[in-house]
Structures are given as C-alpha cells and as structure tokens.
Structure 1
Amino acid sequence: MAYPDDLLSSGEHVVIHKHPHWKMLIFPVFWLLVVVALGTYLAGLVGDQSWATAAWIVLAVVGSVLIIWLTLVPLARWRTTHFAITSDRVMYREGVFKRTGLDIPLSRVNTVRFERSLMDRVLGCGTLIIDSASDEPIPPFDDIPSVEKVHSLLYREINDNPGDDFHPRTSDGRA
C-alpha cells in the first residue's frame, strides 16, 4: 500500500513504506484463540442448564469485549502505524483515535544504526535508531521489518540527496 500522496510535498516521493513487523500480532492472535476456545468450552458446560440462554449471552458479551480489547485494538494500532522514508524525510505516524507523528528531514540526520536480537534476526525485523542534529532525542523505531534493508535505503537516500549541504551542486548542475 502506498503512503497517501496528499501528505507529501511537491516533488517528494516515497522510497519505502512499512508497518511494524507482524510479530506485534502474535499475542493478539493468541488471545483471540484463547478467548474463543474458553468461551466455547464454557458454553458447552452450561448447555444443559435451565439458565443456559442467559449464560450464553453473558459469555458472548464478555468474549466480545475481550476480543475487541485484546485483539482488534492491537490490530488497529498495528494497521495505523506507518514508517515511511521519502526523498525528503523520515516519517512515523501512529495511533487510532489520537494520532501522533514524527518527521525528520534527511538533511538533519547524523547517524543511522540498527539493532537486532536473536529473535529479531529469526523473524527478520529489528530496531532502527536515528540520531539527528536536533536537541530532542528521537525514540528508536522498534519492530521494523527488514531493518537492514531499511537502514541501507535510508543511508543511501541521505547520501544521494542532491539538495543537502553535503552534496552541493556546481553551477553546471553536477554533484
């Protein structure tokens, strides 16, 4: 899915757009399976009772609330979290009801590094750490899929950006 073009300035294009790694969805899927299995088991236990209809309604309501809270909310959070590198900046957006965003101009990026635990290496993700010329620290970007590829693309975009101070153009337009 391409990043919305209306959020980009003129002449800016998306180099890479990612959602967090699917490992963020492991526990929500686990809880979905637990709630469905437990609800089915409890519904079977009360099936022969005279008050079974009321118990099934209570089980359905409690199960629905748990599924929304433990599965659908994390899924929506995952779906609405975006990490994008454009030709001009690094963009991070997250949130369902309360949206927050962070934009880092490529010209302000000093260093880019990544970290991968053993589990991250097995799953193919990691943490991207960007240091900028800003006084405020930038939080690390966790669970970035293919973090080494993203790291390389970001580094290449920073160094190949012809408009930055490190690559001034000559009068004939060459770098």
Structure 2
Amino acid sequence: MVLPKGKKTYSYADYLEWDNDFNSEALNGEIISMSPSPTPKHQDIVGELTAEFKMFLRGKKCMAFLAPMDVCLFADKNTKADAILDWVQPDLLIVCDPHKIGDKNIYGAPDLIVEVLSPSTARNDRLIKYNSYEKAGVKEYWIVDPYNMTVEIYSLQGASFVQAGILAKDDLLTAGIFPELEIDLKNIFKE
C-alpha cells in the first residue's frame, strides 16, 4: 500500500479506509511502522509468551492479546476515529479493564505491553513507542531481544518508566503487575 501523496498526518479513520491487509502504526498522526511479516523466531517468542500469559490468566479478569490488534492509546470508546492520531499494534498486550476492550480494538493504555525487537522496529520500540507507552500510562513494558536473549522490564512509577530489571535466558521472569507469575525464559528463548 502506498500512502496518499501530499498528506503527512493520518487519523485512525484514514487507516480504517485502507486495505484490510495493510497494517500500520501511527503516533501523533505520523505513520511510524509499516513492517514486513515477522520472522519465525520472532513469532515463536511471541507465541510462547502468549501461551504463558493465556494459561496464567485463565479464569481471571485480565486478557492477553497478540498482534495484529489495534491499540488506540489515548482514546476511549467515545472517541471518534477521525480524532484518534495514535494507534499501535504491540506484539503482546494484557488488558485488565474490560471497558477498554472494543469490538475491533483496544481503547486506552493496556496494563502490560511486550514488544519483540526486530532490526526494522528496534528504534521505534526503544524510543518512539517507549515514550508513547510511558505517556499513555502503560503500567509495565517489556522489550524482548531475541538475538541477545534478554528481556528488559520497565515499570511505570508516577509518570515515568523505571527499569525494573534485565533478565537473560537462564532467569525466571516475574511480572511486576502479576507477582505470582513466573516465566522460565529457557522456554521462551530456544537455540
């Protein structure tokens, strides 16, 4: 898909008019990502983490979703699509407030977001999205590096993210918002 010429900012209403097979992300109306399909390694990590969360959350009020799922960061269900300028598609997200779950997307900040780095998205995940997730009030943000087999955990304290730890393949990961959850990273990072 080629974006319309002459237009530099887009709303969620514009995006909804584009081809159904076209996925993009935007912050402040500026398209930040039109990524190619993820690699098998990327998808395996997302799948393993999703399985861990799905099992843990079974029977609880929180729900896990994986990409592609539009998250309208600074909106609610009453926000008109042409007023939404920020939408992202995190690799994995956890939402505990059922009012944020719409028929086709998520409204507002998820409780936890996981992004798995790839060469084409690393800058966005570490800088642009990091700042937007912080500003939106995401409680916890994980950056997963499949090449170095690490997980960086950022926890929202006040209005800012604070690094809560960096874990490697041989570690047990515990989510700050779910202290009773333990994920053995040997099951996530395979050689």
TM-score, structure 1 normalization: 0.27
The structure that is helix-richer by fraction is 1
Greater radius of gyration (CA): 1
The structure that is strand-richer by fraction is 2
TM-score, structure 2 normalization: 0.26
